[in-house]
Homo-oligomer: A and B are copies of this chain.
């Protein structure tokens, strides 16, 4: 009743629906769907609790219209993952091309990454939430990205004179610990209020300290003392 206003009622998603070629408009609607999902995930909700209808409502289209873009929620989840990591990869390529300062490479890299996190909160919130709670396809995709990242860092580390005597396995472990620390910092960053500069500073400082501790440990490391006697029990 009283649907007085213009025919098309849209949500926050696609604003100027009227311009551009058909492909452009389609791309815009797709973006609106992705953004709608990210918007809803900014709150307490988890991806698996989002409904298709809810997302189309926020994006400003009809439920049935959803299927012109994705076969279902699972596929939208995949798209969100690709979306999130693509901007990260882009950033990392740029950073590599621009060249890092030779002296504080680690610190600079960490800072660049955390800056990126802060300017893409929604993406990383999604990743953090889905890393352990998402569908197995999404979880695997995230794990693959992390594994690749660890590999890259291990290669970078292998160029340090100090780390020449590291076995490649131990290099992976060191890289893994560094990335674990950065991921932990990321999660703290996402939990902190975005405007809380003091908290942000503390997080940056802490992770830098952690890196320093790891480098110190590495300087005394002897890869030939590997393994030793572990204490595992099957259950």
Taking Cβ atoms with an 8 Å cutoff, the residues of A that contact B are 44-46, 48-49, 107-108, 111, 114-115, 118-119, 128-136, 143, 170, 173-174, 176-177, 180-181, 184, 187, 191, 194-195, 197, 200-201, 203-206, 208-210, 213-221, 226-228, 230-235
Say whether A216 contacts B221, CB under 8 Å.
yes
CB-CB under 8 A from A218, the residues of chain B are 213, 217
Q: Which residues of B contact A48 (CB under 8 A)?
A: 45-46, 48-49
In the bound complex, how far is the Cα of B136 from the Cα of A165, in angstroms? 46
Report the minimum CB–CB distance from A19 to chain B (whole Å): 31
Partner of A133, one of B132, B221, B232: B132
| CA distance in complex: A111, B221 (Å) | 22
Residues of B within 8 A of A119 (CB): 235
Closest residue of B by beta carbon distance from A214: B217
Of the residues B132, B170, B187, B230, contact of A187 by C-beta under 8 Å: B132
Contact A111 B213 (CB under 8 A): no
Residues of B within 8 A of A133 (CB): 46, 129-130, 132-133
Q: Assuming A115-B233, A130-B133, A177-B210, what are 11 further A-B pairs, CB within 8 angstroms?
A: A44-B136, A45-B48, A46-B46, A114-B232, A131-B132, A176-B184, A200-B232, A200-B234, A205-B232, A208-B230, A217-B220
